[in-house]
Chain A
Amino acid sequence: MLPTTNQVSRRILVADDDPVIRHLVAAIVKKEGYTTVLAIDGREAYRILQADADFKAAVFDMVMPHLEGLDLIRYMSTEKRLMRIPVMMITSEPDPNLIANSFAAGVTVYLSKPFTTERLQTTLQMLLSDSNGTKSGPAIQSMNAQKPDREPERK
């Protein structure tokens, strides 16, 4: 089990349009002692975040229909109540520019597919390592520096 870093919330938002990866990530997150809120794509994650900021962290797939992971992060960077939520980005894209853009947009940690249980656990520990639950290092600097380049889709 991971050390408790925030007694208020143990909920982690997981957004991935791939049901296999979504279920796998959720299982591993639950194994670590957290509860999960699942979104089937970026648009559903966006709707959840509009109404609910009570998350310890978020795990997003980079490529999702309607709204991609980076768009979600850019939206989160404009909302004070969401800025504190650290984000793990999962992707099978090995493109270094894409990874750099992810960090510039505010991603806290990055996990490439395929991943093992241990790698996801380790990355989750990195994501939640800040005991006061706030983002740290280059992610928060970049997050403040970059505004979203387009509005998320709305229904």
Chain B
Amino acid sequence: MPANAIVSESYRDQEPGPLLSEAAFRALTQALDMAVLTSFAEAQLDGVPDLIVELIDLYLEDAPRRLAAIEEALARKDERALKRAAHCLRGSSANLGALQVALICEELERIECNDWFPGVQALLSCLEEEFGRVRQVLLIERQRRS
């Protein structure tokens, strides 16, 4: 599979996708520091499933739930719930090398409460876009390891 090919949006149903433009490929490769993620292969035990694949699967299951929680909290204007979801997503994202996602989450945690709706909405849009890139990179890595 070419390095700059993408897979299906659904990582459970992986199919090679079209080739990306150079700019799109660059954006993808900047979305996630693969060296950070793959460094955890050091903790791989013999005779058990691939730890990196497990981490990818867990992240791809959990992060959309956190994004949905942020969106729901925004709709309810529930600042505490929004910041808690952003906090959790920041931790796992930073640890797996998705630094842009982590930075946007950090901004969500810090944003001022007064008249915060437009700012949060803009950050959430950025977050969803950036997470989409991270997901594509993770899907490629997952397929490579399968």
Seen from chain A, the residues whose Cβ lies within 8 Å of a Cβ on chain B are: 17-21, 23-24, 27-28, 30-31, 63, 65, 92, 113-118
Write the residues of chain B forming the contact surface with A, with a CB cutoff of 8 angstroms. 36, 39-40, 42-45, 51, 54-55, 58-59, 61-62, 84, 87-88, 90-92, 94-96, 102
Complex-state Cα separation, A65 to B87, whole angstroms: 12
A117-B91 contact in complex given A20-B55, A27-B51, C-beta closer than 8 Å: no
Given contacts A27-B45, A63-B84, A63-B87, contact A115 B95 (CB under 8 A): yes
Q: Which residues of chain B are within 8 angstroms of A31 by Cβ–Cβ distance? A: 42-45
By a CB distance below 8 angstroms, the chain A residues around B87 are 63, 92
Given contacts A63-B88, A65-B84, A114-B95, 12 further A-B contacts (CB under 8 A): A18-B88, A19-B61, A20-B92, A23-B55, A27-B40, A27-B45, A27-B51, A31-B42, A31-B45, A92-B90, A113-B94, A113-B95
Beta-carbon contact of A116 and B55 below 8 Å:
no
- Of the residues B45, B51, B91, contact of A113 by C-beta under 8 Å: B91
**Beyond A23-B54, A24-B40, A63-B84, is A30–B91 a contact (Cβ under 8 Å)?**
no
Closest to A64 in B: B88
* Docked-complex contact A19 and B45, CB < 8 angstroms: no
CB nearest neighbor in A for B63 = A20
Contact A116 B39 (CB under 8 A): yes
- Report chain A residues within 8 Å CB of B61: 19
- A27-B51 Cα distance, complex, nearest whole Å: 8
5 A-B interface contacts by CB (under 8 A) = A18-B91, A18-B92, A21-B95, A27-B40, A116-B39
In the complex, which residues of chain B have a beta carbon less than 8 angstroms from the beta carbon of A115?
95
The contact of B91 among A27, A65, A92, by CB within 8 Å, is A92
Contact A114 B55, CB 8 Å, known A17-B88, A19-B62, A24-B95: no
Known contacts A28-B43, A113-B95, A117-B42, A23 near B58 by CB under 8 Å: yes
Collect the chain B residues with CB atoms within 8 Å of residue A27's CB. 40, 43-45, 51
Residues in A with CB closer than 8 Å to B51 are 27
- In the bound complex, what is the Cα–Cα distance between A47 and B94 (angstroms)? 30
- Report the separation of the CA atoms of residues A20 and B63 in the bound assembly, to the nearest whole angstrom: 10
Give Cα A21 to B62, complex, Å.
11
By Cβ-Cβ distance, the 4 closest A-B pairs, closest first, are A20-B92, A114-B94, A114-B95, A117-B42
